[in-house]
Amino acid sequence: MRLHEYQAKEVFAEAGIPVPDAELARTVEEAVAAAEEIGYPVAIKAQVHVGGRGKAGGIELVENETEAREAADRILGMDLKGFHVDRVLVEDAVNFVNEVYVGVTMDRGVGRPVAMVSSRGGVNIEEVAEEDPDAIAREHIDPAFGMHDFQARKAVYDAGLDRDVAGDVASILTTLYDLWEERDGADAEINPLMVTADDEVIAADAVFNIDGDALFRQPDLAELEDEAAEDDLEAKANEYGFDYVRLDGNVGIIGNGAGLVMTTLDLVDYYGGAPANFLDIGGGAKAERVANALDMVFSDENVDAVVFNIFGGITRGDEVANGINSALEQFDDIPKPVIVRLAGTKAEEGMEILNTDLVQVEATLEDAVQAAVAAAEEVDS
Amino acid sequence: MRLHEYQAKEVFAEAGIPVPDAELARTVEEAVAAAEEIGYPVAIKAQVHVGGRGKAGGIELVENETEAREAADRILGMDLKGFHVDRVLVEDAVNFVNEVYVGVTMDRGVGRPVAMVSSRGGVNIEEVAEEDPDAIAREHIDPAFGMHDFQARKAVYDAGLDRDVAGDVASILTTLYDLWEERDGADAEINPLMVTADDEVIAADAVFNIDGDALFRQPDLAELEDEAAEDDLEAKANEYGFDYVRLDGNVGIIGNGAGLVMTTLDLVDYYGGAPANFLDIGGGAKAERVANALDMVFSDENVDAVVFNIFGGITRGDEVANGINSALEQFDDIPKPVIVRLAGTKAEEGMEILNTDLVQVEATLEDAVQAAVAAAEEVDS
Amino acid sequence: MSVLVDEDTRVVVQGITGGEGKFHTEQMLEYGTDVVAGAVPGKGGQEVAGVPVYDTVSRAAREEDADASVLFVPPAFAADALFEALDAPLDLVVAITEGIPTQDMSRVYRRQQETDTYLVGPNCPGVITPGEAKLGILPGNIFSGGSVGLISRSGTLTYQVVDNLTERGLGQSTAIGIGGDPIIGTDFIDALELFNADSETDAVVMCGEIGGEDEEDAAAYIDQHVDTPVVGFIAGRTAPPGKRMGHAGAIVSGSGTGTAESKINALEAAGVPVGDTPEEVADNVSDLL
Amino acid sequence: MSVLVDEDTRVVVQGITGGEGKFHTEQMLEYGTDVVAGAVPGKGGQEVAGVPVYDTVSRAAREEDADASVLFVPPAFAADALFEALDAPLDLVVAITEGIPTQDMSRVYRRQQETDTYLVGPNCPGVITPGEAKLGILPGNIFSGGSVGLISRSGTLTYQVVDNLTERGLGQSTAIGIGGDPIIGTDFIDALELFNADSETDAVVMCGEIGGEDEEDAAAYIDQHVDTPVVGFIAGRTAPPGKRMGHAGAIVSGSGTGTAESKINALEAAGVPVGDTPEEVADNVSDLL
């Protein structure tokens, strides 16, 4: 789960990390009022989950009311790399002499957290990592002990930071790590952490992504989730409890189990089609869940045909077949052609139950995918 | 550092461990008023650092005002195993059907904390440990991870506690451990943890000793220290920053370094004398510290002669000698004979500096101790 | 022969009194697995499907001489249950639970690495040695005994591949679902090491997917240490960066690591043929044997 | 020969800019110890007694090729400094600091046990190989080279015993002050193992004291594993139960464990003569050589 910049900054500030004065605005008037209150210059920053907002025109530095009004008017409502901007953060523009990077994430390769510091803040850190990996000091953290104080210092000194700010940056890194640990962070980043002429440090941007599996014990962060959701279909998937990812193609895909669904997507591509989505109904799905899945995929206007691929382990073919039948029987006209393949537990029973007036049944994964690709092509043409 | 029962209970209660209603009283009137307010029956319990208070007459259960007055009058001011009672805890008497033991301490043998549970609460747990070690379930804690929840459950079930109270006792043990860890406990114990007829559990006694070396980060607990100190001389040693232990004998002992001071005590005993104290002036002592040490030992009316044994490493013989001279020169009459032995750094210089009108100088540890034992005997006879 | 589990494996079910725990205990017993105990705090003394329940894993292990557990404990309590299994100690813990917080698993993994316990999972379908024992939720009926070892990050994809293998008469020695989470106990390398040392496994199928670098690491390991022929499959060729494809671990990072392409290239460079479809995987195995 | 330290030991002083750190750095240099660096956060680039200071231990170790450290860091920061030394990594860390909270040491010890680093102390006078190197605060002038290994929980008692040994012409191979705290790195057994393997140590003196069961454990170890003759001394025969005799570790528990009597009996049963006075200890060594 990703927090917006303004949400992340609230969480960071509460933990004691210095952040600039700022206010959230949803209208031009709110933005201008905020700018007046904070005092110019201010930055007006689109609140969307997009990297490189600055380059894409989502951040503007303004010096007076006229500029503020113009910038807010332009940014609010704009489409930023496919995301609609409905909120901006109006923020005191910090006068800085230096920008550094601090971050914490899980290094899954070693199964341990890693804290990172770089003197090359303010730019895309992933590019820095590729061009000049040594410019990022990395300190793996023993999750049994948490981050030792010396590790924060070591990262900061190894990154070559000035001794004058080293102590403050180390202490912010420690706070960031502790926060990441306590709040079940996935990634926590401050980029840039600005250094002012008098060696103050202040978090000018903030990223805080939370482990979705841990939201049960972070109820206040879980409440922010709705506010952060952007896509209607993805919000619907959250509601239904599906693992769902929307893609660009026109073949809708429903299946059970992440690996099998991914494989189904890959086969759609392999046979010349284009997958419209990833939708995993999980294990042991009953009729209602099956109907919800069909509803999801039918709601996607890009979808021209649907392949329903189930390999039953806990999931029973007969239950799925009944679910499909009853979901489709509601329609006078089936909205999109549905191709079904059932295997595994109670697959034969399921095949018999399926109403072949409503769906096309195929015996193998390969046949089902090919049929769906062909059907989608036909609708599309 | 040892907390009194009432102090420990306050700390435990704050952490969420249930304790009986109670009030501290310093006078009979306060005790009676407290009893009336809490409601009879109440227990009146001497607040002194003595084990087995009950057997020694320091705890009494009273049913009405007359009994309360009599008990408070008898206990307040009494001498309990050498300790003067100036405070009693007046506490709601819990109706119990069962008594269990829970405790946390450091097992120095393995360098790890150990959590303990026994169904044989309410009795001296050290006796239980000797008679029937299996009656105490012990769970070593990995200090990197802290106590896992399963460990609390395991200790409770291994101790054979009823399933009806197991969850509550495990949760109290978890709280006790966390408290012990957060507050730098040395020993934390609830004995007995009473179980009522309706399976409620409540801490009827409480022990909480704090690691003295960690008091710097437990400022609120450090403030309780004065309140808990009992012996005037030991309070004075705290003030001076000496490691000091008062004993029964008449040979006062001052030295540098715990092992050497202990050895000096042992030699006093070995040569037929009786040590009056352990006093370690530590490393690198200057003149003032030397004078303070002499003041301490002179203040002990049991002392008949003093042996001053220094093996200088960081500590310099000349500094010590000057300290001894200036401390003794204040007196018209030296209060007790002082025998000095200096070795190590600047020992020869020290020997020359020492005013042999004021002190007796000996060349070896053995000679110095024998001389002190002889001098003490002479004074005593 | 087989790896990790066989007919002598004595199993404790952690979380046996829950819906899934109970159902799969029955399924495992039916398959012939020697389920000797259940462990659920506060439920000691009960019975589930004829199996005695204990309050703690250590007591279950002690009383019933168990050496393995399979875990159906809800995510919030799973890490604690895993620490309990490591402490018991058991030789093998198979964690079925999906949705364990990653930081919890990081701590469990930290501890597990110090012990002699094999941890399989979490978020995995389990381990099966056809005809001998299954620990987990794999549908026993699709497996058949044989000499193909199977390692997979995904459950139903495993079934698909097994189905294709069985169709061609290619039975399995043991199938290990290593799980779809970012941090797992037994990884490809651990499993490859086991199969490579198993005299009755003649070929190994490894089903990887996007996310992480385990497949790349496995490729390097195969190149250096594995004599048994290996066949691969990688799911998620069409996955876009930054999107989690169901499994917590199946995500191509924003910086482009963890892609299917990188994994396929690494495996092919190590001499591992990677099939484009599950059918092709079976074909590749067939060619090798 | 010697154990732990010799003329090739390259030493970092942690906390070199503090009063004690600076003083003892000078003393160590004067004794001939190869002090190559200091480490104090924020003080990198400075020099103390001609020794370059670094901000981190790892950088000090890397730049100056150091393999050991001696620690004069105040108690509140000592555990962190110890973790830093373990992480650097160094082969040997000698912790002089007194008053480190016991729970901090419990965590340090937990970590140290997983590493290959020897930790001596805390709350110890250090380690000295006469004529080669000293790491710590021991007064070098009382030591003389020879073949007696010395292990002691106490500082000044060590000096006393060394004085008695030197007086009789019994020089020392290495003296190790293992420290007076309840939780220490190198204990009697570790040190005995080192001396037993050292071809030029012909006898070992162990000075124990009340508290804990390390001496009893050492006695059992000596009985089983040590060929080199061992002589003992135990301080604290007159200590009453429940009172801490200076050292955090020197306390006879309320239940009566940790007594001098128990330790003396155990050592004598293992064939270790225990002297009643430091002089008698020297006599006992003399008798053996």
For the stretch B332-362, pLDDT in tens is 888 899 999 999 888 999 999 999 999 999 9
Task: Select from A106, A211, A275 the Cβ nearest to the Cβ of C238.
Answer: A275
Average pLDDT over residues B52-61: 88
In this prediction, residue B287 carries a pLDDT of 85
Q: How confident is the model at residue B230 (pLDDT cuts 50, 70, 90)?
A: low
User: Subunits with at least 3 CB pairs below 8 A relative to chain D?
Assistant: A, B
Across chain A, which distance is largest between two alpha carbons, in Å?
Answer: 77
Helix (H) or strand (E) run with residue B105 in it: strand B98-107
The phi and psi torsions of A210 (rounded to 5 degrees) equal: -105, 145
Q: How confident is the model at residue B235 (pLDDT cuts 50, 70, 90)?
A: confident
| CB–CB contact A142 B142 (8 Å) | no
| CB–CB contact A258 C209 (8 Å) | yes
Which among D69, D87, D104, D114 is the top mutation candidate for probing chain A, defined by the most A β-carbons within 10 Å of its own β-carbon?
D87
Q: How confident is the model at residue A186 (pLDDT cuts 50, 70, 90)?
A: very high
| Three-state DSSP state, C34 | strand
In this prediction, residue B183 carries a pLDDT of 97
Low-confidence residues in chain D, pLDDT < 70: 1, 254
In this structure, the number of other CB atoms found within 10 A of the CB of residue B87 comes to 20
* AA letter at B289: R
| CB–CB contact C183 A106 (8 Å) | yes
In this structure, the number of other CB atoms found within 10 A of the CB of residue B371 comes to 20
In this prediction, residue D133 carries a pLDDT of 97
ipTM (interface predicted TM): 0.94
| CB–CB contact B153 C56 (8 Å) | yes
List C-alpha distances in Å: B26 to B75, B89, C260: 11, 9, 77
Closest residue in B to D207 (Cα–Cα): B259
Could you check whether C1-123 and C139-289 share the same CATH topology? Answer: yes
* Contact by Cβ (8 Å): B50, B80: yes
Q: How confident is the model at residue A42 (pLDDT cuts 50, 70, 90)?
A: very high
Task: Select from C107, C240, C277 the Cβ nearest to the Cβ of A144.
Answer: C107
Long-range CB pairs of D253-259 (<8 Å, 24+ gap) are D254/B51, D254/B126, D255/B126, D255/B129, D255/B130, D257/D213, D258/D210, D258/D211, D258/D212, D258/D213, D259/D210
* Residue ranges of E strands in chain D: 10-14, 34-39, 47-48, 51-54, 68-71, 92-95, 118-120, 126-129, 133-136, 145-152, 172-177, 203-209, 230-235
In this prediction, residue C72 carries a pLDDT of 97
User: Subunits with at least 3 CB pairs below 8 A relative to chain B?
Assistant: A, C, D
The answer to whether residue B216 neighbours chain C at the CB level (below 8 Å) is no
| CB–CB contact C83 B154 (8 Å) | no
In this structure, the number of other CB atoms found within 10 A of the CB of residue C203 comes to 23
| CB–CB contact A150 D83 (8 Å) | yes
The answer to whether residue B138 neighbours chain C at the CB level (below 8 Å) is no
Q: Which one of 3.30.420.40, 3.30.470.20, 3.40.1190.20, 1.20.1070.10 gives the CATH number of domain B96-222? A: 3.30.470.20
Using a CB-CB cut-off of 8 Å, the residues of chain A touching D80 are: 148-150
Nearest-neighbour CA in chain D from B29: distance (Å):
35
CB-based burial of residue C71 (10 Å sphere; 0-12 exposed, 13-18 middle, 19+ buried)?
A: buried
Total CB pairs under 8 A between chain B and D: 171
What tokens does B24 get?
């501290």
In this prediction, residue B123 carries a pLDDT of 85
In this prediction, residue B229 carries a pLDDT of 54
The answer to whether residue A149 neighbours chain B at the CB level (below 8 Å) is no
* Contact by Cβ (8 Å): A189, A103: yes
Stretch 30-69 of chain A: residues touching chain C, C-beta under 8 Å: 51
In this prediction, residue C243 carries a pLDDT of 86
pLDDT exceeds cutoff 60 at A230: no
CB-based burial of residue C24 (10 Å sphere; 0-12 exposed, 13-18 middle, 19+ buried)?
A: buried
Which among B117, B145, B150, B171 is the top mutation candidate for probing chain C, defined by the most C β-carbons within 10 Å of its own β-carbon?
B150
Least confident of B50-54, B272-276, B278-282, D10-14: B50-54
Using a CB-CB cut-off of 8 Å, the residues of chain A touching B145 are: 144
Q: How confident is the model at residue C199 (pLDDT cuts 50, 70, 90)?
A: very high
The answer to whether residue D107 neighbours chain A at the CB level (below 8 Å) is yes
Catalytic residue among B23, B99, B189, B319: B189
In this prediction, residue B226 carries a pLDDT of 58
Domain chopping of chain D, boundaries:
1-123, 139-289
CATH architecture of B21-92: 2-Layer Sandwich (3.30)
Q: Which residues of D are catalytic?
A: 247
d(CA D283, CA D168): 9
Task: Select from C155, C212, C238 the Cβ nearest to the Cβ of A108.
Answer: C212
Strands C172-177 and C145-152: parallel
The answer to whether residue B153 neighbours chain C at the CB level (below 8 Å) is yes
Catalytic residue among C22, C134, C247, C263: C247
pLDDT exceeds cutoff 90 at B234: no
Query: In angstroms, how far is CA D134 from the centroid of its own chain?
Result: 11
Stretch 162-221 of chain D: residues touching chain B, C-beta under 8 Å: 163, 180, 182-183, 207, 209-214, 217
| CB–CB contact B163 C87 (8 Å) | no
Closest residue in A to C233 (Cα–Cα): A263
The answer to whether residue A331 neighbours chain D at the CB level (below 8 Å) is no
| CB–CB contact A106 C137 (8 Å) | no
In this prediction, residue A307 carries a pLDDT of 97
Mean pLDDT computed over every residue of chain C: 95
Nearest to D180 by CA among D143, D134, D125: D125
List C-alpha distances in Å: C246 to A258, B73, B340, C241, C283: 5, 74, 80, 13, 28
In this prediction, residue A228 carries a pLDDT of 53
Nearest-neighbour CA in chain B from C83: distance (Å):
8
pLDDT exceeds cutoff 80 at A302: yes
The answer to whether residue D139 neighbours chain B at the CB level (below 8 Å) is yes
| CB–CB contact C59 B149 (8 Å) | no
* Contact by Cβ (8 Å): A236, A296: yes
Q: Which residues of A are catalytic?
A: 101, 189
pLDDT exceeds cutoff 70 at B227: no
List C-alpha distances in Å: C71 to A258, C120, C177: 20, 10, 14
| CB–CB contact D106 B113 (8 Å) | yes
The answer to whether residue B144 neighbours chain A at the CB level (below 8 Å) is yes
The answer to whether residue A267 neighbours chain C at the CB level (below 8 Å) is yes
Report whether CATH 3.40.50.720 matches the domain D1-123: yes
In this prediction, residue A195 carries a pLDDT of 96
* Contact by Cβ (8 Å): B234, B226: no
The answer to whether residue D59 neighbours chain A at the CB level (below 8 Å) is yes
In this prediction, residue A231 carries a pLDDT of 66
Nearest to A158 by CA among C108, B103, D84: D84
The answer to whether residue D30 neighbours chain B at the CB level (below 8 Å) is no
D139-289 CATH: 3.40.50.261
The CA-based angle B52-B54-B58, given to 5 degrees, is 105
* AA letter at D109: Y
List C-alpha distances in Å: D118 to A368, D68, D113: 65, 9, 9
In this prediction, residue A287 carries a pLDDT of 85
Which among D14, D40, D53, D56 is the top mutation candidate for probing chain A, defined by the most A β-carbons within 10 Å of its own β-carbon?
D56
Catalytic residue among B6, B101, B177, B244: B101
What tokens does A343 get?
């295997």
| CB–CB contact D56 A154 (8 Å) | yes
Using a CB-CB cut-off of 8 Å, the residues of chain D touching B184 are: 101, 103
A232-380 CATH: 3.40.50.261
* Contact by Cβ (8 Å): D69, D51: no
Place of tokens 């969480």: A11
The answer to whether residue D244 neighbours chain A at the CB level (below 8 Å) is no
In this prediction, residue D175 carries a pLDDT of 97
Nearest-neighbour CA in chain C from A289: distance (Å):
16
- Report the 3 state secondary structure along chain A: CECCHHHHHHHHHHCCCCCCCEEEECCHHHHHHHHHHHCCCEEEEECCCCCCCCCCCCEEEECCHHHHHHHHHHHCCCEECCEECCCEEEEECCCCCEEEEEEEEEECCCCEEEEEEECCCCCCHHHHHHHCHHHEEEEECCCCCCCCHHHHHHHHHHCCCCHHHHHHHHHHHHHHHHHHHHCCEEEEEEEEEEECCCCCEEECCCEEEECHHHHHHCHHHHHHHHHHCCCHHHHHHHHHCCEEEECCCCEEEEECCHHHHHHHHHHHHHCCCCECEEEECCCCCCHHHHHHHHHHHHHCCCCCEEEEEEEECCCCHHHHHHHHHHHHHCCCCCCCCEEEEEEECCHHHHHHHCCCCCCEECCCHHHHHHHHHHHHHHHHC
Domain chopping of chain B, boundaries:
21-92, 96-222, 232-380
